[in-house]
Amino acid sequence: MVRAGLLLTMLSLAACSSDGSSGPASGGAAGSGGSPSGGSAGVAAAGSDAGTTDASLGGAPSGGTSSGGTSSGGTSSGGTSSGGTGGAALMKGGSVTGTQAVAGISGTSHPSYSFSAGLADSISTPRAGSCTTAKDGSCTIYTCSSPNPSADAGALPPQASAGTISLSGALEALTLTPKADGSYGFLGGSKLMWKDKAQLTLTASGGKVPGFSATLDGAGPLLVLTPNMGPATPLTLNRNQPFSLTWSGASVGTATVSLARSLQNAATTDSVSVSCTYPASAGAATIPTSTLLKIPAAGNGSINVYAGDQKQIIAGAWLVYVTEISGSNAASVTFM
């Protein structure tokens, strides 16, 4: 079942060799196919306390596996960047997460949103594994193999506070207040939180993590028109034919089509994930066969399609993404 929500994500950049804590933040729309997880990183600490740069929406898998959609509810775990060259310092990471979308259940529309946060106060040791990355037009293909995580791999790292985190420009103001241990709670509800073309501003007042702010173009909830797909409508995808989609509802930001397939063996998980990005205003996209043939045939995979906007933030020793995601169109896929 697709669960919806509104999203502002400060997501740590994660290469495929990351320990997995810097993957999609927990809190947001449930779905198959994955939410953005940044990309490979390794950024030296900035000279100033905070900086903002543009970042692409739609990202690499975390921990060498497909991200499989954002989880519903909960708080974000943060994470760390994991790449870097030339002696660049690894940085702490984190996320402020929310989503908005409309789920159709038994012919009835169910809007919902969520808003949560988490900033890691430690740099995790990257998990062993390997990934290759290839570009094909508007698509990026990630092929990864990584050891299966241990039973305690899901434990949250120590958390750090960035003070109160507020969202303005939405239909109502939202504020997250840190707890004594630096973690944040979770907000959610059964309604949409902004309209298409909204100017959304996220502001952190500052704590152990220096204060920062970013403004994003808020997209309306993206709705896939064709093909017919959803939680109760699996998709069969012929890799030897171009895969075309149309959508409505979002006229600003980036539309991301995420396809993923993974195979878990006794000791490792092998995965191929594809992230294709297009202007949300285009309302249509076609993924070429050259990209689709990179995904192994047979077996089940996943797809998720969503719109949003994203900026990269450097705040002291923390590297984070500020991301807005609207709409979650998820389904299982059989690749032929």
Q: What one-character DSSP code corresponds to residue 99?
A: E
Q: What is the pLDDT of residues 178-214, one digit of tens each?
A: 999 999 988 999 999 999 999 999 999 999 999 999 9
- What is the CA angle 198-202-204, rounded to 5? 170
Q: What is the pLDDT of residues 83-125, one digit of tens each?
A: 333 444 568 888 887 789 888 766 678 899 988 888 988 876 5
Residue 322 banded pLDDT, cuts 50, 70, 90: confident
| Structure-token match 């519903």, residue found | 72
| Confidence at residue 252, expressed as pLDDT on a 0 to 100 scale | 93
| Confidence at residue 5, expressed as pLDDT on a 0 to 100 scale | 33
Residue 228 banded pLDDT, cuts 50, 70, 90: very high
**Calpha distance 215→169 (Å, rounded):** 9
CA distances from 119 to 14, 45, 76, 200 (A): 14, 16, 8, 21
Task: Give 195: exposed, middle or buried? Use CB within 10 Å, 0-12, 13-18, 19+.
Answer: middle
Task: Give 220: exposed, middle or buried? Use CB within 10 Å, 0-12, 13-18, 19+.
Answer: buried
Give the 3-state secondary structure of residue 218: strand
- Which residue from 238, 172, 208, 177 is spatially nearest to 49, judged by alpha carbons? 208
Share of the chain above pLDDT 70, in %: 68
Average pLDDT, the chain: 75
Helix (H) or strand (E) holding 333: strand 318-335
| Confidence at residue 220, expressed as pLDDT on a 0 to 100 scale | 93
Share of the chain above pLDDT 90, in %: 46
Task: Report the 10 Å Cβ neighbour count for 233.
Answer: 10
Q: What one-character DSSP code corresponds to residue 290?
A: H
Q: Using an 8 Å Cβ cutoff, are 185 and 75 in contact? A: yes
Pick from 59-73, 218-232, 286-300: least confident: 59-73
